[in-house]
């Protein structure tokens, strides 16, 4: 990632692209309202809203690429002030290669950006030009001098994560090792430059870590607060009996597993629980999060992190229950999910996987402080492995776009308004089917957290 990245959730990116990449006599302009967060040493801007100008808003002065009435900016400025968001003027130069602000663009930016900053202090503001595959801008980031940024990174959410420009990995990998997966992966750099966080490192998560490492993911961040015991040996990939004796942290077992595979993947173990500070910082730095957790409270946290910082989140889970049955019938039900949650698409609250009632039930109606975690639930490695493998395939799609890379939300349609990526396991029948899910238009969780970034503290 370059020093500044603008992330566009599913739907908003398509809206912005359609607004500014238009063929006509003049350039088209849109206003992108953003939150922001510091992630490592970089600034991440997350789009919350796109406002386009109408035809009547433009002035045909024949001098500038685009010129518009000052009053046309009022809806964007008022909305930004009301919601405490940064304001970016965006237009496009519709050709490939490097994007650069023209001298006219820059003069305009130098006038507008300080005015935006005066209206909404504490937020980043700027003027951005998009090329095809690259972007540049004049940016005023909080507590920094306004400056020209010629390597602005744009991340579009769609069927896959689409990065302009494509990031380069720190270390190139041995091409021969990955030769047989090249047909699907394409450029191995897509994986070698990626950071994938796996939360929960036992039955599901250990499979995920193992497969991501074989595929050649650049960095795997493994998060788990637990040590191993003998009850984990039947399902945690890479575990040895001595780990139970030593009560080895699951992160340590995964570090050993990754090293033994030898594909060059870097493993960062975080021995902690979501959303402890160190875990939160690690997750914010990920390109994709895979959740293999056993409770809804952790899922709710991962869902919020994913939406706030615009990070795709793949959630897996398996549930095995006894079933009263006649002698020759199935004696269990084996259900499970693989949810592909793309910021801007459906969330776990939209789809009913999370609700206040379900969270309250998990703590017997008491607060989060009383959550004890689940112990002793039935788990079988083959079912864990099945959903974990599908989750890794979904990560592969997000990073390599082997199924396509459209940012048009309709490209994710299953049927009607159902979005692809809500797969249900029936372990007794032996099926894993995409049932789809839909975004709820007034989902309070999406409204509150999608693209919200981090809280911006201001003097009262």
Residues that bind other proteins (CB under 8 A): 37, 83-84, 273, 275-277, 280, 301, 304-305, 308-309, 367-371, 447-449, 452-460
Coil vs helix vs strand at 184: helix
Q: How far is the CB of 137 from other proteins (least distance, A)?
A: 24
Give the nearer residue to other proteins in terms of CB position, either 367 or 416: 367
Cβ-count burial of 351 within 10 angstroms (0-12 exposed, 13-18 middle, 19+ buried)?
Answer: buried
Cα dihedral value 238, 301, 8, 436, nearest 10 = 80
| C-beta contacts of 146-153 below 8 A and 24+ residues apart | 146/110, 146/113, 146/114, 148/101, 148/106, 149/3, 149/4, 150/98, 150/100, 151/2, 151/3, 152/2, 152/4, 152/5, 152/6, 152/128, 153/1, 153/2, 153/4, 153/5, 153/6
Two structure tokens written together for 21: 């990449």
Nearer to other proteins, 302 or 437 (CB): 302
For other proteins, which is the closer residue by CB, 120 or 140? Answer: 120
Whichever of 198 and 445 has its CB closer to other proteins, that residue is 445
Instruction: Please check whether residue 120 is in contact with residue 80, taking contact to mean a CB–CB distance below 8 angstroms.
Output: yes
Residue that is written with structure tokens 């997350």 in the block: 46
Contact 157, 310 (CB under 8 A): yes
Min dist. Cβ of residue 277 to other proteins (A): 4
Pairing of strands 4-8, 42-52: parallel
Q: Of the candidates 282, 46, 31, 19, which has an alpha carbon nearest to the alpha carbon of residue 155?
A: 46
Closest distance of CB 367 from other proteins, Å: 7
Is the Cβ of residue 212 or residue 305 nearer to other proteins in the bound state?
305
Shorter beta-carbon distance to other proteins: residue 168 or 372: 372
Can you tell me the distance from the alpha carbon of 295 to that of 300, in angstroms, rounded to the nearest whole number?
9
Nearest to 64 by CA among 100, 91, 27: 27
- CB closer to other proteins, 95 vs 370: 370
| Nearest alpha-carbon partner for 391 in 334, 315, 336 | 315
Is residue 173 within 8 Å of 216, Cβ to Cβ?
Answer: yes
Residue in 384, 270, 372 with CA at minimum distance from that of residue 335: 384
Nearer to other proteins, 26 or 38 (CB): 38
CB of 371 vs other proteins, minimal distance in Å: 6
CA 12 – CA 332 distance, rounded (Å): 43
CA 195 to chain centre: 11
Query: Least distance (Å) from other proteins to the CB of residue 139?
Result: 21
User: Least separation, in Å, of the C-beta of 10 and other proteins?
Assistant: 20
In the complex, least distance from residue 123 CB atom to other proteins, rounded to whole angstroms: 11
**How many Å apart are CA 339 and CA 356, to the nearest integer?**
19
Chain Cα centroid distance, residue 415: 24
Pairing relationship of beta strands 135-140 and 125-132 according to DSSP bridges? antiparallel
CB of 294 to other proteins, least distance (A): 16
Give alpha helix (H) positions in 140-201.
182-185, 189-192
Q: Residue 62 or 277: which CB sits closer to other proteins?
A: 277
| Least distance CB 282 / other proteins (angstroms) | 12
| Rounded least distance, CB 234 to other proteins, Å | 29
Nearer to other proteins, 30 or 39 (CB): 39
Q: Which is nearer to other proteins, 46 or 425 (CB)?
A: 46
**Other beta carbons within 10 Å of 49:** 16
Minimum separation from the CB atom of position 301 to other proteins (A)? 6
């Amino acid at each position: 990632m370059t020093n500044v990245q603008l992330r566009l959730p599913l739907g908003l990116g398509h809206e912005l692209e359609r607004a500014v990449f238009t063929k006509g006599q003049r350039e088209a302009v849109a206003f992108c309202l953003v939150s922001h967060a510091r992630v490592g040493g970089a600034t991440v801007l997350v789009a919350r809203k796109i406002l386009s100008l109408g035809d009547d808003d433009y002035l045909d002065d024949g001098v500038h690429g685009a010129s518009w009435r000052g009053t046309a900016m009022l809806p964007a400025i008022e909305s930004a002030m009301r919601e405490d968001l940064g304001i970016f003027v965006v237009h496009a130069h519709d050709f490939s290669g490097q994007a650069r602000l023209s001298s006219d663009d820059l003069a305009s930016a130098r006038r507008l950006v300080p005015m935006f900053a005066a209206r909404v202090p504490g937020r980043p503001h700027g003027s951005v030009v998009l090329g095809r595959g690259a972007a540049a801008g004049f940016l005023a980031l909080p507590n920094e001098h306004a400056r020209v940024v010629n390597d602005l990174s744009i991340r579009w959410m769609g069927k896959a994560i689409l990065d302009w420009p494509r990031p380069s990995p720190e270390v190139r990998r041995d091409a021969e090792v990955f030769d047989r997966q090249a047909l699907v992966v394409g450029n191995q750099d897509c994986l070698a430059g990626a950071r994938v966080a796996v939360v929960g490192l036992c039955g599901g998560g250990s499979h995920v870590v193992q497969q991501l490492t074989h595929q050649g993911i650049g960095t795997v961040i493994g998060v788990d607060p637990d040590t191993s015991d003998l009850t984990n040996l039947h399902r945690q990939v890479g575990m040895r009996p001595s780990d139970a004796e030593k009560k080895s942290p699951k992160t340590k077992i995964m570090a050993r597993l990754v090293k033994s595979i030898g594909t060059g993947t870097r493993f960062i173990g975080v021995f902690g629980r979501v959303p402890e500070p160190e875990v939160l910082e690690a997750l914010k730095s990920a390109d994709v999060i895979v959740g293999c957790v056993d409770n809804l409270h952790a899922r709710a946290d991962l869902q919020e992190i994913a939406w706030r910082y615009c990070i795709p989140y793949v959630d897996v889970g398996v549930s095995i229950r006894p079933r009263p049955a006649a002698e020759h019938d199935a004696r269990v039900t084996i259900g499970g999910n693989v949810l592909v949650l793309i910021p801007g698409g459906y969330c776990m609250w939209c789809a009913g996987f999370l609700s206040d009632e379900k969270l309250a039930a998990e703590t017997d109606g008491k607060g989060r402080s009383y959550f004890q975690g689940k112990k002793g639930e039935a788990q079988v490695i083959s079912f864990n492995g099945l959903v974990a493998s599908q989750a890794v395939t979904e990560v592969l799609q997000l990073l390599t776009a082997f199924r396509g890379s459209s940012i048009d939300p309709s490209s994710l349609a299953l049927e009607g308004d159902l979005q692809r990526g809500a797969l249900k396991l029936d372990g007794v029948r032996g099926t894993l089917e995409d049932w789809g899910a839909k975004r709820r238009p007034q989902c309070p969780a999406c409204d509150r957290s999608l693209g919200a970034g981090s809280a911006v503290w201001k003097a009262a």
